[in-house]
Amino acid sequence: MPGRRTVLVTGGAGFIGSAVVRHLVAGRRYRVVNVDALTYAGNLQSVAPVSGSPDYVFEHVDVADADAVARIFAEYRPDGVIHLAAESHVDRSIDGPDAFLRTNVVGTYTLLQAARAFLTDDPARRDAFRFLHVSTDEVFGSLGDTGHFTEATPYAPNSPYSATKAASDHLARAWHHTFGVPVVTTNCSNNYGPYQFPEKLVPVVILKALAGAPIPVYGTGANVRDWLYVDDHVRALVAAFERGTPGETYAIGGHNERTNLEVVRTICAVLDDLRPDDAPHARHVTFVADRPGHDARYAIDATKIGRDLGWVPEETFESGMRKTVEWYLAHSDWCAAVLDGSYRMERLGVASS
What single string gives the DSSP state of each residue in 59-97? Answer: EE--TT-HHHHHHHHHHH--SEEEE------HHHHHH-T
Best CA proximity match to 349, nearest among 287, 284, 286, 293: 293
Best CA proximity match to 69, nearest among 104, 22, 118: 118
| Strand ranges, E, within 3-79 | 5-10, 30-36, 56-60
- Quick count: other Cβ atoms within 10 Å of Cβ 4? 14
Catalytic choice (137, 231, 232, 301): 137
272 is catalytic: no
Q: Would you put residue 19 in left (φ > 0), alpha (ψ -120 to 50) or beta?
A: alpha
Best CA proximity match to 252, nearest among 166, 165, 105, 135: 135
Catalytic choice (30, 56, 109, 161): 161
75 is catalytic: no
138 is catalytic: yes
Distances 112 to 45, 104, 337 between C-alpha atoms, Å: 28, 12, 34
Cβ(56)–Cβ(26) under 8 Å?
A: no
Catalytic choice (87, 91, 138, 257): 138
Distances 350 to 114, 217, 221, 288 between C-alpha atoms, Å: 37, 14, 17, 11
Active site residues: 137-138, 161
